[in-house]
Chains A and B, each alone.
Chain A
Amino acid sequence: MLQNGARQRGARANDMIRLSIPVRQALARLTLPVLIAASFVLLLVGKADTVLTERARMALADALAPLYGVLAAPLGNLRAGVEEVGGLFELRSENARLRAENERLRQWQSVALALEAENAALKANLHWIPDPAVNYVTARVVADAGGVYARAVLLSTGPHARIAKGQIALDDRGLVGRVTERGTRSARVLLITDINSRIPVRLERSRGQAILVGTNGPRPRLMYWTEGQAPQDGERVVTSGEANAFPSGLPVGTVRISEQGAVEVEPAARLDRLQIVRIFDYGGHGIVPPEGVVPRPQGMDRHR
């Protein structure tokens, strides 16, 4: 009796399975084409709705940033240790180079002190209005956020850090880039070397304007300089206040003319080994993020 029941149950189960095999096979064969179609939809949606994409990315970045932030310090120490071992072999030559550089910097220091005193005296005579002090926050770089075809870094920020899009990132030597996306605990900074980066700059010697164009390579290019004021090799490049996106005078780098004759800029910031950056709020509103441009209803203008 018991065996009989078990056999019946088994047969029923077999029947169900036999019925569902073709269905299951058809479903299995359909899944891949359907998902490939879905990925095309994803491509289109990602292009059309950038806000949604950004929110999804930053949600993931917010979840990972604290974790990577914890990992960043020991990993940085490990890397520094490895570099230290490599540096042991060239201690002598490095020492000689540093002595020579120190001599040169001592001379520059005395020049700088004299110029600073002179500058202060001139400003006092002119009743110069000093520039307002600028707010900044310091954040740790926790990950590369560029992928294959972009140059960007992810910062781990506290939940209460007042970071907004368009704020300017600098390391201890010069301009790094601008904040393009921010979450609650993380922010993404687009580097000046990214192919989408365009920065108005000024050549310090000739005071001519130009645009610094990223190429995804280590050295961005200079374009659109003033006619007759071609950039010269070794000239310093600083930001220009043009378009109110950047304050004037932040150090960007030095001009290098490549062997092919391309006019490039060697960035002052150490973009390949960023660890800590400062995010400055200069209050520039020259460039509005895309979602800030809300189309105004047609009727509003007419009633004015």
Chain B
Amino acid sequence: MERLPGIRPRESLLRRLDMAARWSFPATTTALLLLAAAAPLGLPGQGELQAAIALACVYFWSLFRPASLPPVVVFAIGLLADLLSFGPPGVGVLTLLLVHGLAMRWRRVLVRQSFLLVWLAFVGVAAGAAALEWALTSVLTFRLLPPAPGFLQAALTAGLYPALATLLTRAHQSLAAPERA
């Protein structure tokens, strides 16, 4: 983008700070949302909510602004989610990286589709992620865990996406756009 001819504002310090802030918006908001979901809100199913937020945010930003969400950042978000949820470390990291990889592979097709199709694809991703997390946690704790929380997690993740995506789409077009700095 920088090599295109044209008139651009000068690269002042303020503008570069603005760009950096916009570039880091997806990662920062995801981390803050995770921390907020771990706060003592007293909601039922808060553990599932935390997993849902991480998954929905990583899927959305991987599809629509992958430049702001390199795999290293996904790794860091997964690690934060794992430490916050006191689950076996690595489960969240692996799931989020796989979701990120899938979203990157599908993005050329998915970005041009309607919201409904993007959501339907995400429902599949959420179900797969919940199943993977359940299987990995079961293997790592040497115990066949009851699968009910996994179903709840998948349903909550799929149900949360439309609301979260509405907010994130607004941010995507305004706050998180480095080109508008």
Contacts and interface: CB of A to CB of B under 8 A. Distances in A.
Interface of A: 14, 31-32, 35-36, 38-47, 53, 56-57, 60, 64, 68, 71-72, 75-76, 79, 141-150, 152, 188, 195-196, 215-217, 272-273
B9 interface: no
Contacts of A196: 141, 143
Contacts of A53: 89
Nearest to B75: A35
Given A39-B97, A44-B90, A148-B85, 12 more contacts: A35-B97, A39-B75, A39-B78, A43-B88, A57-B83, A72-B40, A75-B41, A143-B40, A145-B86, A148-B47, A148-B150, A188-B86
A196 B138 CA distance: 12
Given A148-B153, A149-B145, A71 B40 contact: yes
Given A35-B75, A35-B97, A215-B146, A150 B89 contact: no
Contacts, number: 123
A39 B91 CA distance: 8
A142 B38 CA distance: 9
Interface of B: 3, 35, 38-42, 44, 46-48, 50-51, 70-72, 74-75, 78-80, 83-91, 93-94, 97-98, 100-101, 104, 133-134, 136-137, 140-141, 143, 145-146, 149-150, 153
A76 B42 contact: yes
Contacts of B50: 147
A46 B88 contact: yes
B146 A68 contact: no
A75 B140 CA distance: 35
Contacts of B86: 57, 145-147, 150, 152, 188
Contact of B48 (A35, A76, A148): A148
B42 A79 contact: yes
Nearest to A42: B90
Nearest to B40: A72
B87 A148 contact: yes
